[in-house]
Structure 1
Amino acid sequence: MSERLQPGDTAPAFTLPDADGKQVSLADHAGRKVIVYFYPAALTPGCTKQACDFTDNLEVLAAAGYDVIGVSPDKPEKLAKFREKENLKVTLVGDPSKETMDAYGAYGEKKMYGKTVTGVIRSTVVVGADGKVERALYNVRATGHVAKLLKDLDV
């Protein structure tokens, strides 16, 4: 399990397939701020709520200069189903190897129903236009997280 990122760290580079199988890289967003959020699984209640919240606030975030990328261990086909079913507008990418999640500190041991398990840690990392981490939030809640993020980012 890798270390959690801290403000000022260089955000780990990644290139992952989106819901259409097209490669998406953090480098594609150079010069813009990017919110990279990590979630356990497409088509689950909490993850759906979070993705819908990001979609609902996408225009506000974009106007403030933020792009949003959601990362899960799902394959592109499942991400496409998720996007269609929920009418999502955020960019969803799959990380089946979990290498990117690991690099961001978003994969490892977590508490679930009182047990310690290994899995995706629901996390959000805000990357500045310079490629440096501005905020790294771990163990965030699916519900209400986007509203809190908007407030914290002054958007």
Structure 2
Amino acid sequence: MSERLKPGDTAPDFTLPDADGEEISLASRRGRKVIVYFYPAALTPGCTKQAVDFTDNLDLLADKGYDVIGVSPDKPEKLADFREQEDLKVTLVSDPTKETLTAYGAFGEKKLYGKTVTGVIRSTFVIGENGTIEHAFYNVKATGHVAKVIKDLKIGDTE
């Protein structure tokens, strides 16, 4: 299990293929704020709920200067199916080696239905324009998480 990241840490850079096989890198986003979220598997109920919630709030997040990138171990072809079936607008990238997942502490032991298993730990990171982690959320719930991120970032209806 890799160490968990915390606010103030430098976000590990990555270059991963998106749903179309195009290379997406975190470094190319310098100067913008980025929300990177890690999820276990495309086309599953919780992961679909989370991706749809991010898509539904993408305009609000983009208006505040945030890009959103979802990372899973799924192959780009499965991500393309996920995007098409759910009409997703967020950028989805593939990390089949789990190297990026591990670098963010988003892969390792977790509890699943009372058992300890090894897998993707649903996590979200808010990365500042300079590449520094501003917020690190581990073991998040798929439902309601996007609303919590928006609230924690103090954007939306509360301004």
Report the TM-score when normalising by structure 1.
Answer: 0.99
Instruction: State the SS of the aligned residue for 1:19.
Output: coil
Instruction: State the SS of the aligned residue for 1:96.
Output: coil
| Cα distance in structure 1, aligned partners of 2:144 and 2:48 | 13
Question: Which residue of the partner structure matches residue 66 of structure 1?
Answer: 66
Q: Which amino acid aligns with 1:69?
A: I
Report the TM-score when normalising by structure 2.
Answer: 0.97
What are the superposed Cα offsets for residues 52-71 of structure 1, whole Å, 9 maximum, x if unpaired? Answer: 00000000000011000000
Instruction: State the SS of the aligned residue for 2:34.
Output: strand
C-alpha RMSD over aligned residues: 0.4
Instruction: State the SS of the aligned residue for 1:11.
Output: coil
Cα offset, 1:28, TM superposition? 1.3
Cα offset, 1:109, TM superposition? 0.3
Q: Percent identity?
A: 77
Instruction: State the SS of the aligned residue for 1:62.
Output: helix
What are the superposed Cα offsets for residues 82-121 of structure 1, whole Å, 9 maximum, x if unpaired? Answer: 0000000000000000000000000000000000000000
| Cα distance in structure 2, aligned partners of 1:10 and 1:31 | 14
2:128 maps to 1:96: no
Question: Which residue of the partner structure matches residue 116 of structure 1?
Answer: 116
Question: Which residue of the partner structure matches residue 153 of structure 1?
Answer: 153
Cα offset, 1:14, TM superposition? 0.1
Runs of 4+ in 1 over 4 A off after TM superposition: none
| Cα distance in structure 1, aligned partners of 2:55 and 2:28 | 20
Cα offset, 1:25, TM superposition? 0.1
Q: Which amino acid aligns with 1:39?
A: Y
Tell me the matched-pair count: 155
What stretches of structure 2 of length at least 5 have no aligned partner?
A: none
2:44 maps to 1:36: no
| Cα distance in structure 2, aligned partners of 1:49 and 1:137 | 17
What stretches of structure 1 of length at least 5 have no aligned partner?
A: none
What are the superposed Cα offsets for residues 33-89 of structure 1, whole Å, 9 maximum, x if unpaired? Answer: 000000000000000000000000000000011000000000000000000000000
Instruction: State the SS of the aligned residue for 1:21.
Output: coil
| Cα distance in structure 2, aligned partners of 1:147 and 1:11 | 23
The equivalences for 1:116-135 within 5 A come to 116-135=116-135
